[in-house]
DNA sequence: CGCATTCACTTAACATGTTAAGTATCTCCC
DNA sequence: GGGAGATACTTAACATGTTAAGTGAATGCG
């Protein structure tokens, strides 16, 4: 079997960890985890979203999101209200405090991203992202077909 | 701020998830998690290792590894004995049962990897891995220098 | 020697990942 | 209009990620 340190999942894991290692200290100083930051960023770009849509955007599973929203709400960083038309749906939005917190984190975060881009090269970075997207595409189809055949 | 769905950490996370989604069902059938599988694979390649070295190889943090080794040992998939020369060190090796289990998982795992390679393209896959390695390199230095300056 | 420091792990505590089950609401069709 | 099924979450349970603290064994040095 191929040396597992060179397997694709390991390469991806290590690369991601190398990147996140840069961001974590700054986020930590602001009392945010990586996932909480993802949620705030996702919310900053829109007015309000349903939880399910937010889960898709922030790439979190429902249960994780549910817990994190509970905590963020307790910290007054987000707001929730149930949709009028459909009582099952809960509409989430970022609060003023949330916006303020984001504003205090964003500069450092942007600086780190810029440094990463500088070191790795903007062009290479774009290429890498494109390849990652293509990989995701290739496998999306595969996953879908498997589900279909296993769904009986 | 850049659309966060196109941030590097998100791209890496999604790509990795797309890949792992292919493997998880098979591992699950054999009662293994992704990390347990990583450990067995790492152990299969060598006689015995110290826990610290194994953590480095399987890319797991000490505490995670500690727990998983406890469980794998309870299932008789690995063996442990403390080193003679240094009582702090614990030498880990895969057991016969562990080897047997690996043999039963490996074919499916290899088939999935082959299918991924076929879909994405062997050459592109190699390129991608190279870029991921380069990214890791770029940031390794950065992380190291930060540590050095913060170590006082 | 003896004791402070370092080292190799392990435990603890809290947050998330992952799957399954639960709850309330809505939809649709008879 | 009412009940079966679908939908949108939430809760639960267990495993791992992450940081900090704990434990026992080695090391170095006065």
Domain ranges of chain A: 4-141
- Alpha-carbon Rg for chain B, nearest whole angstrom, is 18
Q: Which residue has the higher pLDDT, A144 or B107?
A: B107
Token representation of residue A141: 């189809």
Distance CA A138, CA B8 (A): 19
Band of residue A147 on the pLDDT scale cut at 50, 70, 90: very low
Q: What is the largest CA-CA distance in chain B?
A: 56
Phi, psi of A91 (to 5 degrees): -95, 130
Could you read off the pLDDT of A61-116 as tens digits, one per residue? Answer: 999 999 999 999 999 999 999 998 899 999 999 999 999 999 999 999 999 999 99
B88-117 residues touching A, CB cutoff 8 A: 106, 110, 113, 115-116
Strand partners, B79: B93
Beta strands A49-50; B49-50: pairing state: unpaired
Domain B24-143: state its class: mainly alpha
The residue among A101, A78, A102 whose CA lies nearest residue A91 is A78
Fold of A4-141: Arc Repressor Mutant, subunit A (1.10.10)
Could you read off the pLDDT of A10-27 as tens digits, one per residue? Answer: 999 999 999 998 998 889
Q: What is the pLDDT of residue A3?
A: 73
Band of residue B2 on the pLDDT scale cut at 50, 70, 90: low
Minimal Cα distance from A116: which residue of B? B139
A–B CB contacts, 8 A cutoff, strictly below: 154
Asked if B104 CB < 7 A from strand C, the reply is no
- Residue A78 makes CB contacts below 8 A (sequence gap 6+) with A39, A40, A43, A69, A72, A92, A93, A94, A95, A98
Band of residue B3 on the pLDDT scale cut at 50, 70, 90: confident
High-pLDDT (> 90) share of chain A, %: 74
Q: Which residue is nearest to nucleotide D23 (CA to C1')?
A: B88
Rounded (10°) angle between helices B96-120 and A122-150: 110
pLDDT (mean) for A22-43:
92
């Amino acid at each position: 079997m191929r040396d597992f340190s060179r397997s694709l999942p390991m390469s991806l894991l290590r690369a991601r960890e190398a990147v996140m290692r840069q961001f974590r200290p700054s986020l930590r100083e602001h009392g945010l985890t990586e996932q909480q930051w993802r949620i705030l960023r996702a919310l900053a770009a829109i007015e309000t979203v349903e939880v399910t849509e937010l889960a898709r955007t922030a790439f979190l599973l429902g249960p994780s999101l549910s817990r994190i929203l509970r905590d963020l709400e307790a910290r007054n960083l987000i707001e929730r209200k149930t949709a009028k038309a459909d009582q099952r749906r809960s509409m989430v939005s970022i609060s003023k405090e949330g916006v303020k917190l984001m504003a205090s984190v964003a500069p450092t975060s942007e600086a780190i991203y810029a440094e990463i881009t500088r070191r790795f090269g903007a062009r290479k970075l774009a290429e890498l992202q494109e390849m990652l997207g293509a990989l995701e595409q290739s496998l999306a189809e595969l996953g879908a077909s498997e589900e279909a055949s296993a769904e009986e």
